[in-house]
Structure 1
C-alpha cells in the first residue's frame, strides 16, 4: 500500500462523513515531527451509523468492489481491520487501550493535512494520554517529545 493509498482512504472517509481520528506515528508527525512507521493508524467511532459510513468509505476506496464485511465488526471493541501489508498498511481500530473515549478525543481533534488531504488528527494532549496508556517503549519515547511540544504550546499561549 503506497502513501497515495493513505490519501485516497482518508478522502473516502471524509467523503462519507466518517468520524475518525488519525493516531499513532502520523499523529505524532502532526504535533512534533515524523518518525519511521509501517502503517497508518485510524481510530473510528464505533456507533452503528458511523460503522455504516465506514463500509461505504471502504466500497468507495475499493472502487465499488463488494467488501463483504459485516457492519457489526466496526462496533466490536476487539476488532482491528488491516488493509494492505507492512511496511505500508492501514489499520482501523474500533477501540484503543486507554481511559480516553473516542467521544472525548473527537471533541479535541485537530484538523490538518495528511499529504494533500484534510484529515482529523487526535489532539496533542489526547495523543499523550493514548501513548502513555499503551505503555509500549516507543510510545513512551514519543511521550517525552510530545510533552516538550505541549510545554512549548503552553508557553506561547501565555505570551499572547
Structure 2
C-alpha cells in the first residue's frame, strides 16, 4: 500500500468535508486560496475556506455535515453561523474555515454568479471571479492584494 503523505491527508480531510456538505445539501462556495487557484492564479494555501448561506435551514445542514465529519465533537450552535460568524476547524495545513460572512460579498447575490466545477472527486461551487476579486479588495490584506493583482491580469 502506498505511503500517505501529509498532503494526501490534507486533501482527504478537505474531500471529507466537501462530500459531507454535498450529501447534506449545504449551499456553500469555495472561497479564498482554492478559489484563487481555480480562477487561474496558482499559489499555495494553508486552508480550505468555505462560505455558507446564513439561513436557518442551511445552517442546520452545515451543522449536520460538520457533526458527521467530526463525530459530533464540535457541539456547534446555529448562532455561530446565523450571526455572521464562523468556525475554524483544525490547524494549518489541515485547517478548514467555514464562514457565513465575508468582506464585501452578500451570499445570496454571489450565489447567482457562482461557478461549478470539480474539487478532487466532488463537484463544488466556487465564488465567481468578480466576486472573489471584490472580496479580496474588501479584505485588503497583503496576500489578498497580491491575489487581486494576479486575478486582474
TM-score normalised by structure 1 residue count? 0.85
Shift of 1:87: 2.2
Within-5 A mapping of 1:38-49? 38-49=46-57
Shift of 1:67: 3.7
- Runs of 4+ in structure 1 displaced over 2 angstroms? none
- Partner residue of 1:71? 78
Q: Does 1:115 align with 2:123?
A: no
Q: Does 1:96 align with 2:105?
A: no
Shift of 1:66: 5.2
- Partner residue of 2:90? 84
Q: Secondary structure of 2:133's match? A: helix
Measured on the aligned residues, the alpha-carbon RMSD in Å equals 1.3
Shift of 1:72: 1.8
Structure 2: which 5+ runs fail to align?
1-8
Within-5 A mapping of 1:1-150? 2-63=10-71, 65=72, 67-77=74-84, 79-98=85-104, 100-148=105-153
Structure with max Cα Rg: 1
Q: How many residues align?
A: 145
Deviations 1:13-68 (A, max 9, x none): 011111111111100111113311111111111110010000111122224x3542
C-alpha distance in structure 2 between counterparts of 1:136 and 1:67, whole Å? 29
Structure 1: which 5+ runs fail to align?
149-160
Deviations 1:82-104 (A, max 9, x none): 11111220001110121x20011
